[in-house]
Every structure is written in structure tokens, then in C-alpha cells.
Amino acid sequence: MKPVFIFDFGGVIVQDTHEVMFGDLFKTYKNQIVDEEEKHNATLQFQELHQTGSKLFNLYKVADEKCLHEIDFWNGILAQHSSFIHTLFYKSNFIKKEDLITPELLSTHLKKNYLISNKKVLEFVRHLKSKNYTIGVLSNHVAEWFDYILKTQFPHPLHEYFDEKLIFMSYHLKLAKPDKKCFDHVQMRVLEYLKSEKEDVQLILIDDKKRNTEAVEKNCMNWKGVVFDFRTMDPECLPELLAPFLQ
């Protein structure tokens, strides 16, 4: 069977999005809190922030980029959590106490510190492509962040990393992982691109979230899942992880 490698973006090729950003800020703040009751209350506030961010991102990642913009996403979070977010940034020494928290500040902080590619992973992907493997992308991502990453984080032309017709973003598909429809759509498009039959192609999803790799193996034919998270795993292990599928 011909292997086709489908890479996730956030957590695999680039750092990640708002969830990791707020998580890092909260860890810094929490480590400064001595009083247990205050720490408990701060944890509850962070959990509420996380829930709000997840709900809004679930809408944002499949939304038409003409209808829902990044500023709408940040404004939705700030409408409910501006005071707590101000505390997170202030206690982490990113702003002064009198500074305001704005969507622009959140966007800039995210892009500067989190929408950053892992150069070792990129070079490995580029190496695979140079060996004539078919390589695509499937990510729950949004237009503005993905465009920013493409413009700033790839030192070589995109076609040196991926088959450009096999780049699938949730905001284009209006589908997101781990929905079976999302995986089925990608498989259909891959087969059309290769002009192949289903039984002749093995798709390998490289994703940082186990729920996605488990879902694709459980619900879809001729898919395998490989968990890789560059925040906790060395990119040097990628050749070993993918060895069973390399020809």
C-alpha cells in the first residue's frame, strides 16, 4: 500500500494556539499564589476561561473567514474574562498594571510566542517530501492564523513540504477532527488526487491529540494514527515513529 502522511499543524509543526498560551500564563500566575483559597478560586476562573475559549474556537475553526474574524474570537473571550486575563498578563510581567487588555495585544502575544514552527519537524517533513512521499496537512485551524504561519514560518516554498492540493483546514472543510466525516472527506480527496483505490492507499495521521488518532483508527478504513507532540517529544523520534510506514 502507498503511504500518505497527513500532518496535524498545532502541536506537531507549530507550537499551538490560545489554549497553550493561556495555560502557560496561568501556570506562572498560580506559582505565585500562596493562599490556598485564592489558588482554588484562580483555578476555577481558569477553567471557565478554558471552557469559553474552547466553545468559541469550535465555532471559529469551521466558520467562514468572511463572517467570523480573529478580533471577534478575542472579543468574545474578553467579554467574559477580561479582568482575569489582565491579571494573567500582569502577573506574568507582560504588561503594566495600568495597561489595557485588547484583542490586538492577545493576537500579537499569540503570534510572537506560539505560532512558531519547529524547524526540526519542518526539515523532517521536507526530507520526506524530497523522497517523493505524498504529504498533506489536516488541522483544526483558522484562516488568519494559518495564513500568518505560512507567511512567516516556512523558510522554503510550501511545495517542498507538502502536496499543496492536500492541505486541509477545518475552516475550509467546515468539518473538524475527530469527526468521521472530516477523515472520510480527506481520504476521498487523497484518492482522487492519486487516482487510486481505497485499498491501495494507507493514510497515516500524525497528530498531537490521542483522541484524534484513536478516532481515525476506530472509525475509518486504511487509516493509522501516530501521536506526536513536539512540546513533549523530541523531533528526532519521528523517523522511528513513522518507520513502519516508510518504504
Q: Show the domains of the chain with their CATH numbers.
A: 2-15+117-245 (3.40.50.1000), 18-113 (no CATH)
Cα–Cα nearest to 161, from 184, 191, 200, 134: 134
- State the burial class of residue 148 (Cβ atoms within 10 Å of its Cβ: 0-12, 13-18, 19+): middle
pLDDT in tens, the chain (247 residues): 999 999 999 999 998 789 999 999 999 999 999 999 999 999 999 999 999 999 999 988 887 766 678 999 999 999 999 999 999 999 999 999 999 999 999 999 999 999 999 999 999 999 999 999 999 999 998 888 989 999 999 999 999 999 999 999 998 899 999 999 999 999 999 999 999 999 999 999 999 999 999 999 999 999 999 999 988 999 999 999 999 999 8
Angle at 144 between CA 52 and CA 173, to 5 degrees: 80
**pLDDT recorded at residue 239:** 96
Distance CA 60, CA 170 (A): 9
Distance CA 164, CA 154 (A): 14
Residue type (1 letter), 214 = E
